[in-house]
Chains A and B, each alone.
Chain A
């Protein structure tokens, strides 16, 4: 059997250079969407082709990779991408947030605070925050160039007019370094405060839309709002049934077809660490062992 021989991290070196140039430009202009020549990847669009290309171009042999999907390390998307890179780059993978140097994420920021030695790579479906309000690309680019962002508030206005409060719960628009309005990818707005002043470098890759953007470390990121309807992160009013956390973002899990449900941490690594710590202190609760 002939085994296919991949270049390190799948992409060829020219492509990686091209993507790195786009990344550098993105870091130089925080929040600005840099076009890049996105490649076909061996996975469908919507599975993180943008994030994978960014990860492939920044990965070195000594890096330790973690991949999460909605906070979880063990869903199909996360497992496949981890396997993809251990096969094509031979890098060490982990599920522990504090051990990873590169974390590729779909729709969450880990609960464990990030450090200066880490890079967070987001998978982005639609990078343009103004897209649903203004369909013309030429026009949205001009609006970014001239920072004409009144329209973004029209969206929030519509939310309040319809629901009485800002009902946008994910992909909540932010202003980066007091200049560019940016879509933080569909992370819950619970995670928005973590974007700001983060010690880690944050990179965003959109494969189908061919855009890369970035938030450099320690950059001010502000969620848009109204004076009389300020931004508020949302969290279910409950505690994690597995680890008892009251500060983490919770997923609602339907447990049968009779309406029973439970709330558990969306960040599996955070939840497991807490449970392990509690086991050490003989703090096991009755619900233990119901983990996913």
Chain B
């Protein structure tokens, strides 16, 4: 870890969510440090997406705490914060990459506007500066800057996903949530996107929580891995360690179910 601060960026304690009498996830706890990438893997319905929504402050947990270290180094409980504060955090210090780029982008607005929205939301009022920043970010996610005034509707799936990443990273967040970032893309586009993500996350020292059912994505991106089943965490550890030497029968099943290339 290259962070100056040795305290965790995000501390999660006994996080639980009940949908009425149905369990979303139970007693999830972990620490995440600056610049660290953690993957959450598991089959459909194992509570991965529930967990991500709880962590990113979009859904209120039934129990447990989420503590986040703010830029001024004070630690705050996400759900004790006022709503404007939480939403401000979500737009500035955090990012959220949806599996479906249409959910994360404004499809009727040009790429430049999509990237610039967060800047304008934090008070940027200089058109030229916003534009420059948008051009810079399009270059960084390998989108031709000549496409800056086109809407994402005219973009391919891979480009949309890269635009979504640019839109999230423009305010230099410290923590980014990704829900199946490569889902629904073909294999070559996936590889390129993963490459890009890995580079950006390392360069900018961003902490990330990546939800995926694709163990290859987990292996490529993450330092640590958390395996979930039926709403509970059944195994955690360093990615290579867990994937190479799984302890739990379920994890062994997951790992062995990867088709050999």
Contacts and interface: CB of A to CB of B under 8 A. Distances in A.
Contact residue range for chain A?
A: 10 to 19
Interface stretch (A47-55, A151-159, A259-267): A151-159
B122 A150 contact: yes
A157 B116 contact: yes
A12 interface: no
Interface in A118-155: 133, 146, 148, 150-151, 153-154
Contact of A228 (B112, B118, B127): B127
B110 A161 contact: yes
A227 interface: yes
A154 B117 contact: yes
A133 to B, nearest CB: 8
Interface of B: 83-84, 87, 106, 109-110, 112-113, 116-118, 120-122, 125-128, 130-131, 148-149
20 contacts: A146-B83, A146-B84, A146-B87, A153-B125, A154-B106, A154-B113, A157-B113, A157-B130, A158-B109, A158-B110, A158-B113, A161-B110, A161-B113, A161-B131, A161-B149, A225-B125, A226-B126, A226-B127, A227-B127, A229-B127
Interface string A153-170: 110011011100000000
Contacts of B106: 133, 154
A157 B125 contact: no
Contacts, number: 52
Contacts of B118: 150
B121 A162 contact: no
Nearest to B126: A227
A157 B127 contact: yes
Interface in A217-268: 225-229
Given A154-B113, A154-B120, 13 more contacts: A150-B118, A150-B121, A150-B122, A151-B121, A154-B106, A154-B116, A158-B109, A158-B113, A161-B110, A161-B131, A162-B110, A227-B127, A228-B126
Contacts of B126: 226-228
Given A157-B112, A226-B127, A151 B117 contact: yes
Contacts of A228: 126-128
Nearest to B82: A146
Given A162-B149, A226-B125, A157 B83 contact: no
A261 B248 CA distance: 83
Nearest to B149: A161
B248 to A, nearest CB: 41
A161 B112 contact: yes
A153 B120 contact: yes
Contacts of A227: 125-127
Contacts of A151: 117, 120-121
Contacts of A157: 112-113, 116, 120, 127, 130
- Residue among A146, A148, A161, A225 with the highest chain B CB neighbour number at 10 A: A161
Nearest to A149: B121
A150 to B, nearest CB: 3
Nearest 8 interchain pairs by C-beta: A150-B121, A153-B120, A150-B120, A226-B127, A146-B84, A227-B126, A154-B113, A154-B117
B121 A148 contact: yes
A37 B37 CA distance: 53
B40 to A, nearest CB: 28
B235 to A, nearest CB: 39
